[in-house]
Structure 1
Amino acid sequence: MVEDRTWGNRIFGAVNMLLLTLIALVTLLPFIHVLAGSLTTAAEMSAKKFILFPTTISLDAYAYIFSTNTILRAMLISIGVTVGGTFISMFLSSLMAYGLSRRDLDGRRTIMFMVVFTMLFNGGMIPTFLVVKELGLIDNYMALILPVAINAFNLIILRSFFQNLPEGLEESAKIDGCNDFGILFRIVLPLSMPALATISLFYAVTYWNTYIHAILYLNDSTMYPMQVVLRQIVILATGMSNESGAFDADYIAPPEQTIKMAVIVVATVPILLVYPFLQKYFAKGALLGSIKG
């Protein structure tokens, strides 16, 4: 009987491995297709509908995208907004989450109700724009950060994680003369690295992909982040816009589909490079932060 169970476990494990491998390949194929399509030639792109391994490597699409310093400037802007916005969001979210995790805080339930309420209802685009305008943040990079500085979902996960920490640690710190800020920055945050890494990744992806806020609050095209500039490149490549001043008028653009794939690669790869460094924290932080609320 033990031997039968052992063989059954082996067969079950082999089937699981096969299915998971197939699912991983199906998930990975679109990324390979996009990368290969961005590196192929115009003739091959026209001849084939689905490309995984280009026969001839061509960098024409990337040469078109990087034909001026516009994309480099936009990438630096996106990196600055992402890094600065993530730092501000984590600082504010950590302070608020820690305060709401304290059971001795008066009005804690009322504040949490207002936080959860914003997940269901919000002021909308026009009221938010009016607030940003009255604050004098038009054509200011802070307009891309402050309206989304604290995300209610991320705040709830972080608060739940803080609540799961042993209360004895805070009590011991108070006995040693540590104040609330000392407890937060010296004890709570160092013990919350999985949650902090996970929430930081959530915020970083949000800021990296910022688009609609840049369209609404930035009138100066030289301040556009990468997502907006990449969209303009696609529009120029498809001939839908006459605003071609940012690119060489004598430059022959590669096929539209190749440019679209190259744009996807340029917009996706930088943020994907962050995942390997945070992968070991990601699942643990998301799960532990959702055990109880």
Structure 2
Amino acid sequence: MIKSKKTKTVDWIIVIFALLAICICIFPVLNVMAVSLSSNSAITNNKVFLLPVEFTTKAYSYVLSDASVVRSLFFTTYLTLVCTVLSMVITILCAYPLAQTKLVGKKAINIVIIITMYFNAGIIPDYLNVKNLNLLDNFWVLVIPSCLSVFNMIILKTFFRSIPESLKESAKLDGATHWTILSKIYLPLSTPVLATLALFYAVGRWNGFQDALFYISNRNLYTIQLKLYQIVNNLSSIDTHAEANVVSMVTSESMKAATVMFATVPILLIYPWLQRYFIEGATIGAVKG
């Protein structure tokens, strides 16, 4: 098919805007990485932009030598895995029955669930609720309140509804139960959506720090983002006996940048593994309303 001149112009405009968006997203990351790998004098004299100047890894050595940062990284990894698995289980168990046409009270349940997307009690009532449940300084306070995203559930429910009823009816004729239908038919057909939603949950948990900031004071339960928040705002919060000597060799800006990269790179490594599912999974749930 031969494209018209007008169509080619529109395509070039789209490409230009896409390139601009890519630059806007990638330049800050490159700048932070360059700062984390540059020398003290180069950073002080504002010579660093997108490439390291006077390459050095002292900032990373300092970050990796801090046991609290490493501990926060491993804890956040474990927390993210637990939250993602639990969130996916709850999302699936919520989306499947709501996708059934014969579910009694489905409209009322949908309304109640959707209301929670737009209205909430606020920070203070949430804190009092968590406190009354004895969840302060508890691992599960970082898991339970955010284990279900209504938006993600609606995406999965919409996809489940797009699966032909004939598949379910034929399975029922063969004696299949709802658990069998869900595990043998629905879930295998939903791989792109499930992978995408798992990515959403994992990224959301990895980047979250507000709940840890409000509810956690135990240093053993600090997430990597909360630790990063403390380092960026108060470098002295990093507990190390040789801090004075390190600061004399490495600027605070390079240490902050190294910590940002240290907290960002692990979750970025997940994207290549799920990229082939991402676009299909993000849009497939919107095919049918």
Give me the TM-score of the superposition, normalised by structure 2: 0.90
Are the counterparts in 2 of residues 93 and 155 from structure 1 also a CA contact under 8 Å? Answer: yes
Structure 2 Cα separation of the partners of residues 6 and 87 of structure 1? 47
2:33 aligns to what SS in structure 1?
A: helix
Equivalent of residue 110 in structure 1, options 88, 108, 111: 108
2:30 is aligned with what amino acid? I
1:248 is aligned with what amino acid? A
- Greater shift, 66-75 or 112-121, is seen at 66-75
| 1:119–1:246 distance in 2 versus 1, CA, 3 Å | farther
Equivalent of residue 132 in structure 2, options 131, 134, 150: 134
Q: Does 1:99 align with 2:97?
A: yes
Q: Does 1:164 align with 2:165?
A: no
| 1:95–1:258 distance in 2 versus 1, CA, 3 Å | same
Question: How far did 1:148 drift?
Answer: 0.8
2:146 is aligned with what amino acid? V
Equivalent of residue 290 in structure 1, options 283, 286, 289: 286
| 1:49–1:111 distance in 2 versus 1, CA, 3 Å | farther
Equivalent of residue 122 in structure 2, options 114, 121, 124: 124
- Greater shift, 105-114 or 244-253, is seen at 244-253
1:32 is matched with 30
1:84 is matched with 82
2:251 is matched with 255
2:282 aligns to what SS in structure 1?
A: helix
1:275 is matched with 271
Structure 1 Cα separation of the partners of residues 251 and 265 of structure 2? 21
Are the counterparts in 1 of residues 73 and 263 from structure 2 also a CA contact under 8 Å? Answer: no
| 1:155–1:7 distance in 2 versus 1, CA, 3 Å | closer
| 1:226–1:27 distance in 2 versus 1, CA, 3 Å | closer
Question: How far did 1:245 drift?
Answer: 3.7
2:32 aligns to what SS in structure 1?
A: helix
1:229 is aligned with what amino acid? K
Equivalent of residue 205 in structure 2, options 204, 207, 221: 207
2:217 is aligned with what amino acid? N
Are the counterparts in 1 of residues 37 and 53 from structure 2 also a CA contact under 8 Å? Answer: no
Are the counterparts in 1 of residues 38 and 55 from structure 2 also a CA contact under 8 Å? Answer: yes
Question: How far did 1:116 drift?
Answer: 1.0
2:12 is matched with 15
| 1:13–1:152 distance in 2 versus 1, CA, 3 Å | closer
1:217 is aligned with what amino acid? Y
2:53 aligns to what SS in structure 1?
A: coil
Structure 2 Cα separation of the partners of residues 77 and 246 of structure 1? 20
2:227 is aligned with what amino acid? V
| 1:209–1:25 distance in 2 versus 1, CA, 3 Å | closer
Question: How far did 1:244 drift?
Answer: 5.1
Structure 1 Cα separation of the partners of residues 168 and 93 of structure 2? 16
Q: Considering only aligned residues, what root-mean-square deviation do their CA atoms show, in Å?
A: 2.3
Structure 1 Cα separation of the partners of residues 94 and 11 of structure 2? 47
1:45 aligns to what SS in structure 2?
A: helix
Q: Deviations over 1:33-59 (max 9, x none)?
A: 111111001111122255212232111
Structure 1 Cα separation of the partners of residues 207 and 50 of structure 2? 26
Are the counterparts in 1 of residues 68 and 239 from structure 2 also a CA contact under 8 Å? Answer: no
Query: Between the two proteins, what is the percent identity of the paired residues?
Result: 36
Structure 2 Cα separation of the partners of residues 45 and 107 of structure 1? 62
1:251 aligns to what SS in structure 2?
A: helix
Q: How many residues align?
A: 286
- Structure 1, unmatched stretches of 5+, are none
Question: How far did 1:113 drift?
Answer: 0.6
Structure 2 Cα separation of the partners of residues 121 and 104 of structure 1? 28
1:215 aligns to what SS in structure 2?
A: helix
Are the counterparts in 2 of residues 65 and 233 from structure 1 also a CA contact under 8 Å? Answer: no
Question: How far did 1:122 drift?
Answer: 0.8
Are the counterparts in 1 of residues 138 and 216 from structure 2 also a CA contact under 8 Å? Answer: yes
| 1:11–1:107 distance in 2 versus 1, CA, 3 Å | closer
Are the counterparts in 2 of residues 144 and 210 from structure 1 also a CA contact under 8 Å? Answer: no
